[in-house]
């Protein structure tokens, strides 16, 4: 069997930094310099556009940055390449704005950033300005200790980001790692079909009939922190903007936003890893647009659900996809349109439309199963009937295994022939 060549896969590894008090002051000074560079070029671009002059290109701003650094000692502390990343970001922001304003006349141009030492500007370094040596990362000539291990001998580091979340200092390392691409002719003999959702993150069923249900931990985390953040917002609304109490509440609000994001990502990473740890070589998953899920949730008036659907569901799919590549497994997406409305036992549409409030579906007399399990089985059926390389169990024997293993089988599973779902 022909092997596929290695492909380069971008990954990000996070580390906790332990800077000294003096190093923290140095990093904050670099953050302030970064904000000043951003504000300087945003203001000058805005002035040129207002005067009818052509906007500076990224190359123009790179040259002007070199001139400005010569007369601004505080900017000289920041690595020149890191400074150029900021001017490139300004250029990208204005080009994006020019495209957006054509479609939305109310779009706002790039804005300046508040020069506040308590609001850290993420420092981005690419090819220079950093190095790893004996348990420390040297950033802008600052040797800072970090927790964790980076196998630099195996990876080509492309970018390094320094962030501050609350009282924690973090370092994100973006690398290119040689990952073996799953062979497109893999024999799919161990398959798990997965139905994604919002009430439950995922319902999966494998070739042996084993059912796996992943609770929506990220949704619960989002709901928990939403209550805390809403309480802070309510208090903040009673304070004078930019007063000491208002700033204190603003700081707490950002802390809990960061905490929520961190815990949601951790939950999604753990659940995608768990799904791939099962004994299968292929995951068949319903490819449904997030906006369709949101349409189902619209009547609930649940802001947490809508927020989860917009971002975290797609994040889970992203984690699952790249982890599968690293594990030499396959993730195959199939169209899951109408899989909820089809009886997995007969392959035909239910006589009555299945509503969102219907958590179970009646397959035959006295045989009730979970609606998401019904959808997962239909996803398996749809993939099997359209996949020429499939050597997984036929649909009827697969369905019998599912029902028998879960004590649901009461009569032989009928054959639906070549009928499409």
Instruction: Give pLDDT tens digits for 35-80.
Output: 999 999 999 999 998 898 988 999 999 999 999 999 999 899 888 8
Q: Report the pLDDT averaged over residues 349-367.
A: 77
Instruction: Show the domain range for 272.
Output: 184-224+252-421
In a domain, 238, yes or no: no
Give the pLDDT score at 249: 94
Taken in order 111, 114, 120, 126, the sign of the CA dihedral is: positive
Q: Ramachandran region of residue 55, left (φ > 0), alpha (ψ -120 to 50) or beta?
A: beta
Q: 220 and 168 in one domain?
A: no
Q: 263 and 386 in one domain?
A: yes
Mean pLDDT of the chain: 79
In a domain, 75, yes or no: yes
Q: Does the pLDDT of residue 27 top 80, yes or no? A: yes
In a domain, 101, yes or no: yes
Confidence (pTM): 0.59
Q: Does the pLDDT of residue 399 top 90, yes or no? A: no
Instruction: Give pLDDT tens digits for 91-147.
Output: 999 988 888 888 888 888 899 988 877 788 888 888 777 887 777 888 888 899 887
Q: 197 and 57 in one domain?
A: no
Give the pLDDT score at 328: 78
Q: 198 and 110 in one domain?
A: no
Which residue did the predictor score with more confidence, 210 or 414? 210
Give the pLDDT score at 90: 93
In a domain, 245, yes or no: no
User: Could you tell me the CA-to-CA distances from 104 to 95, 107, 112, 135, 304 in Å, in that order?
Assistant: 14, 6, 21, 49, 27
Q: 34 and 133 in one domain?
A: yes
| Burial classification of residue 340, based on how many CB atoms lie within 10 Å of its CB (0-12 exposed, 13-18 middle, 19 or more buried) | buried
pLDDT > 90 fraction of the chain, expressed in percent and rounded: 24
Residue 261 — very low, low, confident or very high, per pLDDT cuts 50/70/90?
Answer: confident
CA distance 195 to 377: 9
Q: Which of 149-153, 158-162, 325-329 has the highest mean pLDDT?
A: 158-162
Q: 200 and 139 in one domain?
A: no
In a domain, 377, yes or no: yes
Q: 347 and 285 in one domain?
A: yes
In a domain, 15, yes or no: yes
User: Who contacts 115 (Cβ-Cβ below 8 Å, separation ≥6)?
Assistant: 32, 35, 36, 39
Q: Does the pLDDT of residue 398 top 80, yes or no? A: no
Q: Does the pLDDT of residue 326 top 80, yes or no? A: no
Q: What is the number of domains present in the chain?
A: 2
Q: 188 and 174 in one domain?
A: no
Q: 150 and 27 in one domain?
A: yes
Domain final residue pick, 179, 213, 237: 179
Q: Report the pLDDT averaged over residues 156-170.
A: 82
Nearest to 280 by CA among 183, 385, 208: 208
Tokens representing residue 242 in the block: 């930019």
Q: Does the pLDDT of residue 335 top 90, yes or no? A: no
In a domain, 231, yes or no: no
Tell me the three state secondary structure of residue 160: strand
Q: 303 and 166 in one domain?
A: no
Q: 203 and 155 in one domain?
A: no
User: Who contacts 345 (Cβ-Cβ below 8 Å, separation ≥6)?
Assistant: 363, 364, 367, 399, 413, 414
Residue 25 — very low, low, confident or very high, per pLDDT cuts 50/70/90?
Answer: very high
| Burial classification of residue 291, based on how many CB atoms lie within 10 Å of its CB (0-12 exposed, 13-18 middle, 19 or more buried) | exposed
In a domain, 246, yes or no: no
């Amino acid at each position: 069997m022909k092997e596929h060549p290695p492909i380069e896969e971008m990954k990000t590894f996070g580390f906790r930094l332990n800077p000294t008090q003096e190093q923290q002051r140095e990093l904050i000074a670099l953050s302030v310099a970064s904000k000043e560079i951003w504000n300087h070029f945003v203001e000058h671009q805005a002035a040129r556009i207002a005067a009818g002059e052509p906007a500076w290109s990224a190359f123009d701003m790179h040259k002007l940055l070199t001139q400005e650094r010569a007369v601004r000692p505080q900017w000289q502390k920041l690595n020149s390449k890191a400074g150029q990343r900021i001017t490139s970001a300004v250029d990208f922001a204005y080009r994006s704005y020019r495209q957006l304003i054509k479609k939305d006349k109310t779009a706002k141009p790039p804005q300046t950033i508040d020069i506040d030492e308590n609001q850290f500007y993420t420092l981005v370094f690419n090819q220079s300005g950093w190095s790893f040596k004996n348990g420390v990362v040297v950033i802008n000539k600052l040797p800072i200790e970090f927790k964790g291990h980076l196998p630099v001998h195996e990876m080509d580091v492309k970018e390094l980001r320094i962030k501050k979340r609350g009282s924690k200092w973090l370092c994100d390392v973006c690398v290119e790692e040689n990952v073996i691409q799953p062979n497109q002719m893999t024999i799919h003999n161990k398959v798990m079909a997965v139905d994604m959702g919002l009430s439950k993150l995922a319902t999966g069923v494998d070739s042996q009939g084993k059912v796996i249900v992943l609770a929506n931990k990220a949704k619960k985390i989002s709901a928990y922190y939403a209550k805390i953040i809403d309480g802070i917002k309510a208090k903040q609304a009673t304070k004078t903007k930019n007063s000491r109490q208002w700033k204190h509440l603003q700081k707490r609000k950002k802390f809990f936003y960061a905490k929520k994001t961190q815990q949601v990502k951790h939950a999604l990473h753990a659940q995608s890893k768990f799904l791939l740890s099962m004994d299968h070589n292929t995951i068949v998953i319903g490819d449904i647009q997030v906006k369709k899920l949101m349409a189902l949730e619209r009547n609930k008036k649940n802001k947490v659900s809508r927020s989860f659907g917009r971002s975290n569901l797609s994040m889970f799919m992203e984690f699952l996809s790249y982890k599968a590549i690293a594990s030499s497994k396959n993730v195959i997406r199939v169209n899951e349109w109408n899989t909820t409305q089809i009886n997995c036992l007969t392959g035909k549409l239910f006589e009555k439309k299945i509503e969102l409030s219907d958590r179970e579906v009646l397959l035959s007399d006295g045989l009730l199963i979970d609606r998401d399990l019904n959808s997962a089985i239909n996803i398996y059926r749809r993939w099997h009937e359209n996949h020429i390389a499939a050597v997984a169990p036929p649909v009827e024997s697969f369905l019998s295994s599912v029902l028998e293993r879960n004590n649901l089988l009461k009569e032989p599973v009928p054959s639906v022939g070549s009928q499409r779902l």
